[in-house]
Chain A
Amino acid sequence: MDMLLDSLAMVADLRVLLGILAGTLLGLIMGALPGLSAAMAIALLIPLTFGMGPIMGMGMLLGAFCGAIAGGAIPALLLNIPGTPSSVCTTLDGFPMVRNGRAGEALGLALASSFIGGVIGALFLILFAPPIARFALAFGPAEFFALGVFGIVIIASVSSGSVLRGVAAGLLGLGLATVGSDPMTGVLRFTAGQPALITGIGLLPALIGLFAVSQVLQDIAERTGLTTPPETMAQPRAAHIPWRLLARGWKVISVSTVIGTVIGAIPGAGGSIASFLSYDQARRMSKTPEKFGTGHPEGVIASESANNATAGGALIPMLTLGVPGEVATAVLMGGLTIQGVRPGPGLFEQQATLFYGILLAFLLANVVMFLTQLLGIRLFIRILQVPFRLLMPMILMFCVIGVYGVNGSLFEVWLMFGFGLLGFFLNRYGFGTAPVILGLILGSLMESNLRRGMLVFNGDWTQFLRQPISLTLLLLAAVFLGAVLWQRHREAPTPDADTDPDALRAPH
């Protein structure tokens, strides 16, 4: 108890609060600008923390972390452009909501879900860090591979129209994931002598191209009469938090935050997988799954509560084991180490006050994020009033800055434009872009873990089925796939077809 009070005293310092506020604001802005990610917001702030104490510096970095993930929802909702990879799923229902004139509600919903997800994730971190960390460590090659297979089944849920076209787009993503040096032998594949491709196609240029640049191209096509524009956007009402909708979504929130925290804690899985899994789960639990993708509030709730819960989850292995969960926490850990604080089992034992101080600062960062956004959403919604002929060039400019800024590579900027063109045609012919991103993320996860597993298990593939976690995930994937196929089958106009359920079960 004394320790908690000491920690509270450390955090309740005006300078620490100012640090958190400054970090959160910068994070929000960077998260909201397409191309600038949470990891980059933190990296930019690290040199500023050199002269600060650990709590103030850490508060600022954690603020940037929370702010960036929450900020990613704003362009995802208003412009159909995810600000960070974690908000891809937010676009699926968020943008249709905005098109239906519910921009105010959508922003409020995303904000409140982000806050709830973030706080619950933080509470999980404070209360259950050790068992979650142990579970996360249980993920070996077999478990990661099974998680990837499980994720592939989600393509059926995130496909906007035809499942077949969604699968085709997913396969395209899986194919693109093979570019780069072979994860097991180092042999270069499809790199065409381009050094920037040695480590594979970057997620960022792909994401920004497929979502942001394609959106700009679409707009140009609509304006020049190449395609017919959709019905004019309805006038949005003022931004507010729709508490009623939120209360009705409590089941979605609880499942999504658990998924977000646990997936966030598994090193190497990451926020985008968590939000895809939660979105899929929300759809599966829903009594009206057909509403997803058309502007269903539960889609926004699931994605946003999950991706903010991953922040707390990702801090679990970093703080308790010294193993960062993904890129942003890796940068965060670098920032802490520079301060002379070494995350790991020893941090809690030797510097418990500091440990709790960091947790409290993280909790506080979520509150600050909520309050600043509460004021902010009234402003953000005005983005919709900016004439498109001004908005689109600005979006394009931020895309180029964002992609160039990360690696300083002009090649990746061209890659982004290439993906923009690809995304434009994928959208135009109803394939959708979300399955491509999912395939790109899961492709490398599945390939490297399948092959790593074959090395570790000495070529014995049955080991993939013998581990309890991986077997569970594979069976669930088979059951879900069977359910999707069964449902499609029943909806099909041939009611007298053979209905042998075994024929529909997926092989594993």
Chain B
Amino acid sequence: MIANLVKAAALGLTLAVSTLSPAAWAREFPAKPVTIIVPYSAGGGADSFARALQRPLESALGTDVVVRNVAGGGGAVGYMQALAARPDGYTVTVPLNAIFTLVGMGNVTFKVDDFDYIARITEEPYVLTVTRSDRWSDLQSFIAASQEKPVTLGVAGVGSSGHIMTIAMAQDLGLKANFIPYGGNADAAAAALGGHIDGVVLQPSDAAAAIEGEGGLIPLAATAPSALLKDVPLFKDLGVDLTTAQWRGIATPKGVDPAILARWEDALKTAVKDPEFRQTMTNLGFDLNPIYGADLQAFVQQAQDLFLPLTEAVATQ
């Protein structure tokens, strides 16, 4: 009886909705709360990013913003759930380099261009940090030491973007290295602090604590500048072309009305100006560096070209 009532109501609603023209849809967007699917559990970088964005985005969009954590599969479950939603602009997700590495590992059924990328909002460089040792003191001596005896580099998870970046660094620097997979960034950082491995590629938020103190790690070089790591040299300045950074932004399943995408872009442009949001990003060690439109498409293409072949090579090993 109740089930039938619900069915009838749902049918009525579908009819009412389908009579609206696409243009009317876009004009009325957003007519209900929007959902940000965070493909990781609460407390991580992507989660902090989405939750900090929540309030400024609510005032910019004029509707409620719901943050949902759909963790599992290193992001696979959340991204797949976001892609299963209707492309109506009411469901978005937080894209990171993980999209490229998940696709490259071949564990997911989606493709990189199944998403419409609306914005890249923050960036975080990758930093090569090493343990204190009398065998090396800077990047040159670390590379030289690796020629005599291969060094061990910890990576956070097989096929994670940190893993792929570590491989890319070793290739470009001519490092002889064995890659030791760990469960996560914190585990890998702890192993390096304990001297069980020679080095690890971290992000500024993890690296900032690990390089402090007397027994702390030495940051050799970073792929981009970070407010948290002021005195760390850049690979670029050392003559190595490594500039890829981790990023966070907003994406929707492909096929959303362009007018709705434009509405999203405007709302995000307003939201990122919010002083409290900016402060939270600084605290988290994320650099605000928003790009949209054609710049963003070029950025996604470039990152995809870097990550996909390297990840596919790891997957077929």
CA distance A268 to B190 in the complex (A): 10
> With an 8 A cutoff between CB atoms, is B120 at the interface?
no
Q: In the bound complex, do residue B43 and residue A330 qualify as a contact, i.e. CB atoms below 8 Å apart?
A: yes
Among A186, A188, A197, A323, point to the contact of B193 (Cβ < 8 A). A323
Residue of B nearest to A186 (CB): B158
> With an 8 A cutoff between CB atoms, is A344 at the interface?
yes
CA distance A452 to B80 in the complex (A): 31
Q: What 8 A-B pairs have minimum CB-CB distances, sorted nearest first? A: A322-B209, A344-B209, A345-B213, A43-B42, A331-B43, A186-B158, A198-B73, A137-B194
| Size bracket, chain A contacts | 35 or more
Q: In the bound complex, do residue A324 and residue B80 qualify as a contact, i.e. CB atoms below 8 Å apart?
A: no
Q: In the bound complex, do residue A188 and residue B210 qualify as a contact, i.e. CB atoms below 8 Å apart?
A: no
Among B51, B71, B183, B206, point to the contact of A406 (Cβ < 8 A). B71
Which label, helix, strand, loop or mixed, suits the secondary structure of the A interface? helix
Q: In the bound complex, do residue B180 and residue A455 qualify as a contact, i.e. CB atoms below 8 Å apart?
A: yes
Residues on the A chain within 8 Å of B51, using CB: 46-47
Residues on the B chain within 8 Å of A330, using CB: 43, 186
> With an 8 A cutoff between CB atoms, is B197 at the interface?
yes
| Given A199-B73, A323-B186, residue A181 in contact with residue B43 (CB < 8 A) | no
Among A186, A332, A345, A408, point to the contact of B315 (Cβ < 8 A). A186
| Given A39-B42, A43-B42, residue A198 in contact with residue B107 (CB < 8 A) | yes
CA distance A443 to B195 in the complex (A): 25
Residues on the A chain within 8 Å of B304, using CB: none
Q: In the bound complex, do residue B314 and residue A186 qualify as a contact, i.e. CB atoms below 8 Å apart?
A: yes
> With an 8 A cutoff between CB atoms, is A409 at the interface?
yes
Q: In the bound complex, do residue A339 and residue B283 qualify as a contact, i.e. CB atoms below 8 Å apart?
A: yes
Residues on the A chain within 8 Å of B54, using CB: 47
| Size bracket, chain B contacts | 35 or more
Residues on the B chain within 8 Å of A409, using CB: 70, 72, 77
CA distance A406 to B209 in the complex (A): 28
> With an 8 A cutoff between CB atoms, is B278 at the interface?
no
B-contacting residues of A (Cβ < 8 Å)?
A: 39-40, 42-44, 46-47, 50, 136-141, 181-186, 188, 195-199, 202, 267-268, 317, 321-324, 327, 330-335, 337-340, 342-346, 406-409, 412, 448, 452, 455-456, 458
Of listed A197, A198, A330, A346, residue having the most chain B CB within 10 A: A198
A-contacting residues of B (Cβ < 8 Å)?
A: 41-44, 47-48, 51-52, 54, 68-74, 76-77, 80-81, 105, 107-108, 152, 158-159, 178, 180-183, 186-187, 189-191, 193-197, 205-206, 208-210, 212-214, 216, 276, 279-280, 282-285, 314-315, 317
Q: In the bound complex, do residue A196 and residue B189 qualify as a contact, i.e. CB atoms below 8 Å apart?
A: no
CA distance A268 to B196 in the complex (A): 15
Among B48, B189, B212, point to the contact of A334 (Cβ < 8 A). B48
Q: How far is the CB of A198 from chain B (nearest CB, A)?
A: 4
Residues on the B chain within 8 Å of A452, using CB: 180-182
Among B47, B80, B208, B314, point to the contact of A344 (Cβ < 8 A). B208
CA distance A163 to B189 in the complex (A): 39
Q: In the bound complex, do residue A184 and residue B181 qualify as a contact, i.e. CB atoms below 8 Å apart?
A: yes
Q: In the bound complex, do residue B70 and residue A407 qualify as a contact, i.e. CB atoms below 8 Å apart?
A: yes
Residue of A nearest to B152 (CB): A456
CA distance A408 to B43 in the complex (A): 15
Q: How far is the CB of B270 from chain A (nearest CB, A)?
A: 19
CA distance A141 to B188 in the complex (A): 11
Residue of A nearest to B149 (CB): A458
Q: In the bound complex, do residue A331 and residue B42 qualify as a contact, i.e. CB atoms below 8 Å apart?
A: yes
Q: In the bound complex, do residue B196 and residue A321 qualify as a contact, i.e. CB atoms below 8 Å apart?
A: no
Residues on the A chain within 8 Å of B48, using CB: 46, 334, 337-338
Q: In the bound complex, do residue A43 and residue B182 qualify as a contact, i.e. CB atoms below 8 Å apart?
A: no
Residues on the B chain within 8 Å of A323, using CB: 186, 189-190, 193, 209-210
Residue of B nearest to A319 (CB): B209
Q: In the bound complex, do residue B208 and residue A408 qualify as a contact, i.e. CB atoms below 8 Å apart?
A: no
Q: In the bound complex, do residue A344 and residue B210 qualify as a contact, i.e. CB atoms below 8 Å apart?
A: yes
Residues on the B chain within 8 Å of A344, using CB: 208-210, 212-213
- In the complex, besides A317-B190, A345-B209, 6 extra interface pairs with C-beta distance below 8 angstroms are A39-B42, A195-B77, A199-B74, A268-B190, A338-B48, A338-B284
CA distance A138 to B195 in the complex (A): 8
Q: In the bound complex, do residue B213 and residue A50 qualify as a contact, i.e. CB atoms below 8 Å apart?
A: no
CA distance A47 to B158 in the complex (A): 31
Among B42, B81, B190, point to the contact of A321 (Cβ < 8 A). B190
Q: How far is the CB of B6 from chain A (nearest CB, A)?
A: 19
CA distance A138 to B283 in the complex (A): 30
Q: In the bound complex, do residue B73 and residue A139 qualify as a contact, i.e. CB atoms below 8 Å apart?
A: no
Residues on the B chain within 8 Å of A412, using CB: 72
Q: In the bound complex, do residue A268 and residue B209 qualify as a contact, i.e. CB atoms below 8 Å apart?
A: no
Q: How far is the CB of B201 from chain A (nearest CB, A)?
A: 16
Residue of B nearest to A47 (CB): B51
Residues on the B chain within 8 Å of A185, using CB: 158, 317
Residues on the A chain within 8 Å of B210, using CB: 321-323, 344
Q: How far is the CB of A173 from chain B (nearest CB, A)?
A: 18
Residues on the B chain within 8 Å of A339, using CB: 283
Q: How far is the CB of B96 from chain A (nearest CB, A)?
A: 16
Q: In the bound complex, do residue B180 and residue A195 qualify as a contact, i.e. CB atoms below 8 Å apart?
A: no
Residue of A nearest to B38 (CB): A408
Q: In the bound complex, do residue B72 and residue A199 qualify as a contact, i.e. CB atoms below 8 Å apart?
A: yes
Residues on the A chain within 8 Å of B74, using CB: 198-199
Q: In the bound complex, do residue A345 and residue B216 qualify as a contact, i.e. CB atoms below 8 Å apart?
A: yes
| Given A268-B183, A321-B190, residue A345 in contact with residue B107 (CB < 8 A) | no
Residues on the B chain within 8 Å of A448, using CB: 181, 183
Residues on the A chain within 8 Å of B107, using CB: 181, 188, 195, 198
Q: How far is the CB of A333 from chain B (nearest CB, A)?
A: 8
CA distance A452 to B178 in the complex (A): 11
Q: Would you mind naming 11 contact pairs between A and B with Cβ atoms under 8 Å apart?
A: A46-B42, A46-B51, A140-B191, A185-B158, A268-B183, A321-B210, A322-B206, A323-B190, A337-B283, A344-B210, A346-B209
